[in-house]
Amino acid sequence: MTTTPNRPAQTVKLAVIQMHVTDQLDDNVARAEAHVRDAARQGAQVILLPELFENLYFCQVEREDYFALAHPQEDHPFIGRFQNLARELGVVLPLSYFEQAGQAHYNSLVCIDADGTVLGNYRKTHIPDGPGYEEKYYFNPGDTGFKVWATRYGRVGAGICWDQWYPETARVMMLQGADFLLYPTAIGSEPAEVESPNSHYMWQRAMVGHAVSNSSYVGAANRIGTETVEGLTQTYYGHSFISDYTGELVAEFGDSDEGALTYDLNLAEARKFRAGMGFFRDRRPELYGPLLTVDGVTRRG
């Protein structure tokens, strides 16, 4: 279903891609393209690849050498290839990549419309910092604000990985008019010294909560496989999924499945349900001042 200015998208077929990656850019890009083509053959109109699928998850360690993996958005080594692919297949591709902008580096995502046009760039807002996920060493905090793009197949809101744990991210994108929420991610086992659980359930529940409290479809794409970087090893737990607007997991991969997971989103039905639930009717933004502070104390004057 194509969106027109006067008639919002009624349905869309979403695909989330789960895949393994190697340390070879060309290999990863070719595999990602093959998965996109397979998803399109299944009728998918919006196709989400995992976070930073271009290489191993190098953020396991802090090494200067890995800054060389970043590239500017302009004349990027593979964004143009996926623009051509989107145009050829008539699909929307929210695409994760490691961005260099002057002396800054970002964990970023471009949204490519079904005609190959880049609609805009989002820079990851929330940057994690912990054993095995040393992203603050590599990435500046995003400065774009949250983004929602009006594509051929509806209004797409996309965060990136750590963003998916924050209800503020989901709520802002919904307030900006998103029809559904997408999260490319790279997450798996924690190092032995970390006490937090190696569980995909907590990861899923956080996003299912966004689905429930925003009455929105949610899709997440994760990588799989065991990766070793500078002697450190992590296993990525997959479990990419699509949740409906009531929080039901309507499609889910396991920890080793590779391919395209698809589901038909009934956006018209979701809009009706969302209006009836009244979550957005009953909001009290004038009382939410503490959310705009770090310590919960609203200061005036």
Catalytic entry in 59, 99, 147, 161:
161
Dihedral sign of CA atoms 203, 208, 210, 216 in order: positive
282 in helix, strand or coil?
coil
Residue 222 β-bridge partners? none
Q: Which of 124, 135, 227, 252 is catalytic?
A: 124
SS (HEC) of 56-114 = CCHHHCCCHHHHHHCECCCCCCCHHHHHHHHHHHCCEEEEEEEEEECCEEEEEEEEECC
C-alpha to C-alpha distance for 218 and 211, rounded to whole angstroms: 6
State the catalytic residue, choosing from 51, 135, 227, 252.
Answer: 51
* DSSP per position, 232-262: EEEEEE---EEE-TTS-EEEE--SS--EEEE
Q: Quote helix, strand, coil % in the chain, to nearest 5.
A: 30, 30, 40
Residue 272 is among the residues annotated as catalytic for this protein: no
Per the listing, tokens 């970087």 go with 229
Catalytic status, residue 13:
no
Provide the annotated active-site residues.
51, 124, 161
